[in-house]
Amino acid sequence: MASATALAVAAGVIVVALAYALFALVKPEIGPAGAAAVVAGAAALLIGLLGLLLGMAARPPKRRKGKEPESIVERIADFVRDKPVTSIAAAIAAGLMAVRNPKYLGATIRAFMEGRDAPRR
């Protein structure tokens, strides 16, 4: 953990030093305001390129081949396996709603059992 923190801090120092070097390089030509704009543009370009690279490197979600689970137990197990944080939050919300107003619990269960259509591409 300490070495990862040290690497992150070192990367931050390098980025700041490069930004200052770019600022000092272009300041005599276009002035302080223009140099600040060049540094901001370079940072925006870098962020955009990194976002594009990370987006291209990301893997799409795995599609399961085969039939849909038929029983509600299999469907719930698949949902919990695929989205554990969402299922925990949904369970807590359903419990709180059941305590406050029991008819909401029936609506929540009905909405889960009906499901929703797959998004169109």
Sketch the domain layout of the chain as residue ranges: 1-61, 72-114
Query: Per residue in 47-69, pLDDT tens?
Result: 888 888 888 887 776 666 666 55
Rounded Cα distance, 94 and 91, in Å: 5
Identify whether the C-beta of residue 84 lies closer than 8 Å to the C-beta of residue 76.
Answer: no
pTM of the model: 0.44
Query: Per residue in 4-19, pLDDT tens?
Result: 888 888 888 888 899 9
Identify whether the C-beta of residue 25 lies closer than 8 Å to the C-beta of residue 42.
Answer: no
